[in-house]
Chains A and B, each alone.
Chain A
Amino acid sequence: MKRTALFLIAFFVAFIFVSAEASAAYNYDPFGDAIASAEALIARKVVDSSNLLDREGESAGYVFGALADVFAHEDRVFIVDSENDAVVVLDDEYRFIAAFGRDEGAGKLKNPRGIYVTEDYIYVADYGNNRVAVFTHDYEFSWEATTPDDPSFKQDPADERGYDFKPLKLAVNDAGRIYVVADQIFEGIIDLNPDGSFSRYVGASTVTLSVWEAFWLLFTTETQRRAQGYRLATSFVNVNVDEKGHLYTLSGLSEGSRVIKKLNNKGYDILWRNGYVPPVGDVASIDGRVKVPTGPSQLVDIDVNESGTYCVLDKTRGRIFVYDFEGYLLYIGGQLGNIGGAANNQRSLFLSPEALCFHKDGILVVDSLNKNLVVMGYTEFASLVNAASDRYFKGEYDEAMELWEEVLVHNTNYYLAYAGIGKALLRAGDYRGAMVNCKLGHDRYNYSKAYKYYRYEKMTVIFPYIAATALGLAVFLFVRSLRTSVRREQEEENNE
């Protein structure tokens, strides 16, 4: 009886642990299976209407509506409030500075959706007014980029063909070129000259047919084909630009493993996808009896920092995926709300996350239903990973190796750290150690390189013995055959 009770208790304890584990931080192993990881991103602060203070520490009195985008520039954070037709400016302590775009006049915004800030201007995707509105850093309206001069758009409200210019998201490079993602546009990302005039479309996804589709097309008549509708290229969802002017874009799900793209100036995708899993958010199919929304990740926003690390936001499950410049998945954080139950659960933060950006020691996320700004801070583990990744990006392999070793203290499941150590050891000439670590880190290429040198080292040691043995054997056989023939000759002589 006692034993049964003990067993039951043990069972329930085990059950609690198992169910706790189900919602723990995770990452993907080289086989694409989810494995436990150390916690990487935790909510440090949640800024909403109730605790928004101004710089004097008084309540700011601004009530957030549905938030659409966030952008951090130097010591300020810009939040697009599409419900209140405003852009809210906070300082780097998340205190209210100003809200602009609400005053009557040329600068009045209507349902703004995206924002990008450069040294010179603040660019706002003014969805409702069919324009990109440009403000100075004093929050004064400066100029606007209206409907591009392209047949895809209605040049005149009376036009029957074409679409309205509905900018959703935008990014501006160092030269002031404006890249706009607009509603209904399949031709690619709209590239505007620094003065706002239309230049070209860039990075249009190519339409491809699968073999199966092409096979069935062989049997369709002209009329049937006409009834099938257009095969349109996937439209873009979001765009960002890095220091070198490369565009980081997000497309719809039909792009498969190329949802995230890095476009060079010619519009070619140059993103590295060397990681254990393709950079698409969640890779394991999430279905069945799980307490999270199912289906593939739907990436809605991307930001990139100076070491080539980029983070993407998955709207399906409210998760943030951070990848390094080579496409390795560094860590995963965040989660949609209402699953943990407890109010202080770190993973029930978001309801409908819309946008994110890197900021100081963390990642900012805005949520359109919670109407708040969540400051996701890096844990010590994530900081170490970031530092190591940054060192690796800069080519400081030895420093990176020391950091990777510290990362392993926090998370022994971290394959990338082993691979990083392996690469550093390979360069340092410790081939045996490099092999061990590359194998642990599933880095076949560098393992093979290390093994090549290791094998060569071994061979140079062993080969003299092999050669000596072979030579000895040859001499022995030669002498033996000589002796045999001599003996035979003697025997023949004796016989005679």
Chain B
Amino acid sequence: MNKPLSLKRENLKQILRDLFVHPLYLITHPIKGFDRFKREKTGKSYVAWFYFVMMIIANIIAFNGNDFLVNDNKPRDFNIFLIIALVAFPVGVVTVANWASTALMDGKGTMKEIFAVIGYSFFPFVWLSLAATVISNFITYDEIVFFHFLNTMGAVLLAYMVFFGLMGIHEFGPAKTIMMFVFTVVAVAAVLFVILLFLSLIQHVYSFLDSFISEFKWRFW
């Protein structure tokens, strides 16, 4: 039975440890960290979900909060559902595709662990992107490079964590991990293809029903 969450001092400390200290440990000790992530279950799914949501929030803040020196977005094009979809959809597809490909490659990771790794990997990107958004409001034209540096750093660290994370939970070597990524890309393409097929099928069914109903109306109404 779950204990009711109380904001006691030690609970708060534990949460801070989960959200910041442990991901930092994973960055600095990728091999050992992700090994324990799997074997000792140090990875927690609430942290993964937290950073998943934070990724969406960070993207929303970056869209609106980046200073206009570096912001090419049209404010009136802001679409919160699009931003959510642009995070959620790739995460979903990559998770499924990675699970599907590693199931064939004797990967040891479960779908839950794959999602957890991806969620944890958002940790550096989220905070660096938020930091970049803040400093973008205090920079001049010549200092834009700092902003881009932070964002690029976040993206590189994201890729780095995904690589070592998946390597750890599937218990692969580096070469096999690279193979796995190739297979994952192929699987993503396959998933997208199936989705497109499905959408087109639905469209056909819809248009069939639509024309059927209008035909029915014209004849018998």
Q: Which residues of A are in contact with B by a Cβ distance under 8 Å?
A: 31, 33, 439, 442, 444-445, 447-449, 451-452, 455
CA distance A444 to B139 in the complex (A): 12
In-complex Cβ contact of A444 among B69, B74, B138, B142 (8 A): B69
Say whether A448 contacts B68, CB under 8 Å: no
Say whether B68 contacts A31, CB under 8 Å: no
CA distance A444 to B69 in the complex (A): 6
In-complex Cβ contact of B141 among A31, A439, A445 (8 A): A445
Chain B nearest Cβ from A36, distance in angstroms: 15
Say whether A448 contacts B140, CB under 8 Å: yes
**Chief secondary structure at chain B's binding surface:** loop
Which residues in A have their C-beta under 8 angstroms from that of B142? 448
| Minimum CB distance partner of A446 in chain B | B141
| Minimum CB distance partner of B144 in chain A | A448
Given A31-B74, A439-B68, CB of A444 within 8 Å of CB of B140 = no
CA distance A451 to B138 in the complex (A): 9
Which residues in B have their C-beta under 8 angstroms from that of A447? 68-69
CA distance A203 to B141 in the complex (A): 34
Which residues in A have their C-beta under 8 angstroms from that of B141? 444-445, 448-449
Say whether A455 contacts B140, CB under 8 Å: yes
CA distance A448 to B70 in the complex (A): 11
| Minimum CB distance partner of B68 in chain A | A439
Q: Which residues of B are in contact with A by a Cβ distance under 8 Å?
A: 68-69, 74, 138, 140-142
Say whether B140 contacts A452, CB under 8 Å: yes
CA distance A152 to B2 in the complex (A): 90
Scoring B74, B138, B141 by chain A CB atoms within 10 A of each residue's CB, the highest score goes to B141
Given A439-B68, A444-B68, CB of A451 within 8 Å of CB of B140 = yes
| Minimum CB distance partner of A439 in chain B | B68
Which residues in B have their C-beta under 8 angstroms from that of A33? 74
Chain A nearest Cβ from B195, distance in angstroms: 28
* Minimum-distance CB pairs A-B, first 8: A448-B141, A448-B140, A452-B140, A31-B74, A444-B69, A451-B140, A439-B68, A448-B69
Chain B nearest Cβ from A153, distance in angstroms: 49
CA distance A165 to B140 in the complex (A): 55
| Minimum CB distance partner of B141 in chain A | A448
Say whether B138 contacts A455, CB under 8 Å: yes
Which residues in B have their C-beta under 8 angstroms from that of A448? 69, 140-142
Chain B nearest Cβ from A454, distance in angstroms: 10
Known: A33-B74, A444-B68, A455-B138. 17 other contacts (CB 8 A): A31-B74, A439-B68, A442-B68, A444-B69, A444-B141, A445-B141, A447-B68, A447-B69, A448-B69, A448-B140, A448-B141, A448-B142, A449-B140, A449-B141, A451-B140, A452-B140, A455-B140
Which residues in B have their C-beta under 8 angstroms from that of A442? 68
CA distance A428 to B141 in the complex (A): 21
| Minimum CB distance partner of B71 in chain A | A444
CA distance A417 to B147 in the complex (A): 30
Which residues in B have their C-beta under 8 angstroms from that of A455? 138, 140
CA distance A452 to B68 in the complex (A): 15
Which residues in A have their C-beta under 8 angstroms from that of B74? 31, 33
Supply 18 A–B pairs (Cβ within 8 Å), ascending by A.
Answer: A33-B74, A439-B68, A442-B68, A444-B68, A444-B69, A444-B141, A445-B141, A447-B68, A447-B69, A448-B69, A448-B140, A448-B141, A448-B142, A449-B140, A449-B141, A451-B140, A452-B140, A455-B140
CA distance A449 to B142 in the complex (A): 10
CA distance A74 to B140 in the complex (A): 48
CA distance A417 to B69 in the complex (A): 19
CA distance A439 to B141 in the complex (A): 13
| Minimum CB distance partner of A445 in chain B | B141
Which residues in A have their C-beta under 8 angstroms from that of B140? 448-449, 451-452, 455
| Minimum CB distance partner of B137 in chain A | A451
| Minimum CB distance partner of A454 in chain B | B140
Chain A nearest Cβ from B65, distance in angstroms: 15
CA distance A455 to B142 in the complex (A): 14
CA distance A445 to B138 in the complex (A): 15
CA distance A33 to B142 in the complex (A): 28
CA distance A31 to B73 in the complex (A): 9
CA distance A448 to B144 in the complex (A): 10
Which residues in A have their C-beta under 8 angstroms from that of B69? 444, 447-448
CA distance A31 to B68 in the complex (A): 13
Which residues in B have their C-beta under 8 angstroms from that of A31? 74
CA distance A451 to B69 in the complex (A): 11
Which residues in A have their C-beta under 8 angstroms from that of B68? 439, 442, 444, 447
CA distance A439 to B142 in the complex (A): 17
CA distance A455 to B143 in the complex (A): 13
CA distance A231 to B42 in the complex (A): 64
Scoring A33, A442, A452 by chain B CB atoms within 10 A of each residue's CB, the highest score goes to A452
Chain A nearest Cβ from B77, distance in angstroms: 9
CA distance A449 to B138 in the complex (A): 12
| Minimum CB distance partner of B72 in chain A | A31
CA distance A447 to B68 in the complex (A): 9
Chain A nearest Cβ from B142, distance in angstroms: 8
CA distance A453 to B17 in the complex (A): 42
CA distance A442 to B71 in the complex (A): 11
Chain B nearest Cβ from A320, distance in angstroms: 27
| Minimum CB distance partner of B74 in chain A | A31
Chain A nearest Cβ from B181, distance in angstroms: 26
CA distance A445 to B140 in the complex (A): 9
CA distance A447 to B142 in the complex (A): 12
CA distance A33 to B77 in the complex (A): 12
CA distance A31 to B76 in the complex (A): 11
| Minimum CB distance partner of B77 in chain A | A31
Chain B nearest Cβ from A405, distance in angstroms: 22
CA distance A448 to B138 in the complex (A): 10
Scoring A31, A445, A455 by chain B CB atoms within 10 A of each residue's CB, the highest score goes to A31
CA distance A444 to B70 in the complex (A): 9
Which residues in B have their C-beta under 8 angstroms from that of A439? 68
| Minimum CB distance partner of B69 in chain A | A444
Chain B nearest Cβ from A177, distance in angstroms: 41
Which residues in B have their C-beta under 8 angstroms from that of A451? 140
Chain B nearest Cβ from A115, distance in angstroms: 45
CA distance A253 to B71 in the complex (A): 31
Chain A nearest Cβ from B1, distance in angstroms: 48
